[in-house]
Amino acid sequence: MQTMIGVIGGSGLYQIDGLEGASWVKVKTPWGKPSDEVLVGRLNGVAMAFLPRHGRGHVQSPSSVNYRANIDALKRLGCTDIVAVSAVGSLREDYVPGDFVIVDQYIDRSFAREKSFFGAGCVAHVGFAHPTCPRLGAAALRAAQDVGVKVHKTATYMAMEGPQFSTLAESRLYRLRGADVIGMTGMPEAKLAREAEMCYTCVAMVTDFDCWHPGHAAVDVAQVIATMGKNSGHARDLIARLPGLLGADRAPCPHGCDRALDHAIMTAPSQRDPELLAKLDAVAGRVLG
């Protein structure tokens, strides 16, 4: 099997450089329109696809992003691995603006988004105790270290709905709950990637201290943009190192991300909704035949 790396760019990252044969392609999905066209090409002999999560020009809010269409589009193009780049606020004293973080856990407090490809007519429950792929996360960590940025190898990401930033009371509560960083787009993206049987990791870039820190002003958009501007070059350099670390030939995921649906579907074959099955052709075609 051949590796194809899908990169989902967050705030401040709207393209990747150096792709051979690069072109923007429009992908139709049964879940509606993705956030934008997808930039496809090859980097160091490895196929890559880049999708700006908010669209070029940042036209989608965290709640209006069509996460199902985005993940379906990348799966439909043949992506095997997804590296998501996100801007986050820090809930820890030692995770400071400018740092990179490899997310390995989530607390999902979003509520206004479609969170599954499955539902009435085809019910499925995937394992999600470990929501990111350790193999892919290790590659992202190594890439960040090679770039020379300060990077933390673990973090619990609090996914809030937004688009407003936290209140002071909320920020303090999230710290008490054990979250390390906070953002608005980590969920349901990671859940959908697991349902689509793709390895997923999140490279988060700390832009601020949310609003809990007594020594720093409350977060605002200008602060986020300024920090992202300084870090976007490092993010692109990190991504450029991934093909060399992952390689063109891909073995089965040792953690089973690419087999997440093996025992997940509950609905009896005779009771499955043909209309929903048709929509699942890309994300679940391996098990649905």
By three-state DSSP, how is residue 265 classified?
strand
- Name the maximum alpha-carbon separation found in the chain: 61
* Helix, strand, coil in percent for the chain, rounding step 5: 30, 25, 45
Q: Please give the positions annotated as active site.
A: 208, 210
Residue in 250, 16, 265, 21 with CA at minimum distance from that of residue 136: 250
Specify the length of the chain in residues: 289
Contact 241, 99 (CB under 8 A): no
How far is the CA of 275 from the CAs of 28, 108, 113, 121, 270, in angstroms? Answer: 17, 29, 21, 9, 13
How far is the CA of 262 from the CAs of 131, 171, 280, in angstroms? Answer: 17, 39, 15
Helical axes 134-147 vs 221-246, angle rounded to 10°: 110
Q: What contacts 101, CB < 8 A, 6 or more positions away?
A: 88, 95, 151, 152, 155, 180, 181, 203, 204, 205, 206
Give the single-character DSSP code of 252. P
Residue type, 80: T
Task: Measure the CA–CA gap between 53 and 250, rounded to whole angstroms.
Answer: 26
Contact 89, 219 (CB under 8 A): yes
